Amino acid sequence: MNRRFEMKKVFVPLAEGFEEIEAMAVIDILRRAGIDVVTAGLQGSIVKSSRNVKVIADKKIDDIKEDFDAIVLPGGNPGYLNLMKSQKIMKMIKEFDSKNKIIGAICASPMILAKLGILDNKKATIYPGMEKELPKPRSEKVIVDGNVITSQGPGTAIDFALKIVEILEGKSKADAIKKEIVY
């Protein structure tokens, strides 16, 4: 089947300690854009955020088998550290990069991409104060370099999500969502 006309699919892994605004804003805005977003809990179906909000993920990480157009890594402490501890997530990120698929990372999660060497020749941004973790840090709220989209934190989550929509579905779709959410 021709994937060009199929609904885009984005994977959002949720690890214990994920940042609520970063995960939920992205999931909400992408779904508003008609993008199929699949969440998966690393430790199980119910995942506790950094502020003890319990979220029911669509799947468990071990049940993820489908093909995705993009992966988006929420930040949060210790969420980003727990993502980094998952060999399955690290392997998936490397596969996405090798296929030049979209990889989004917000808050402290760009550090994961740096540790994998994905940011060696790319500009990126990260949570303020963590710039030393990146090879080529920049101060903009959202940075796109090749297949990688990075953003700084909870306050930049809507801009980050809208940029992902723009890249996957086009500027007119991102502008329509902006209008819909009164942004």
Tell me, what's the pLDDT at 4? 57
From residue 108, give the alpha-carbon distance in Å to each of 43, 85, 182: 20, 14, 28
CB 81 within 8 A of CB 17: yes
This prediction has a pTM of: 0.96
CB 23 within 8 A of CB 154: no
- With cut-offs at 50, 70 and 90, classify the pLDDT of residue 6: confident
**What range does the domain containing 84 cover?**
3-171
**Structure token digits, residue 98:** 């090798």
d(CA 86, CA 59): 16
Catalytic residue among 25, 61, 103, 107: 107
Secondary structure of the chain: what % helix, strand, coil (to 5)? 40, 20, 40
Q: Say whether 107 is catalytic.
A: yes
Tell me what the mean pLDDT of segment 35-45 comes to.
Answer: 97
Measure the CA angle with vertex 146, ends 171 and 14; round to 5°.
Answer: 80
- Tens of pLDDT, residue by residue over 138-164, are 999 999 999 999 999 999 999 999 999
4-17 CB burial, b ≥16 within 10 A, e <16: eeeebbbbbbbbbb
183 domain residue, yes or no: no
182 domain residue, yes or no: no
179 domain residue, yes or no: no
DSSP 56-90: E-SEEGGG--S--SEEEE---TTHHHHHHH-HHHH
Q: How many domains does the chain have?
A: 1
40 domain residue, yes or no: yes
CATH (domain of 35):
3.40.50.880
Tell me, what's the pLDDT at 5? 66
CB 109 within 8 A of CB 131: no
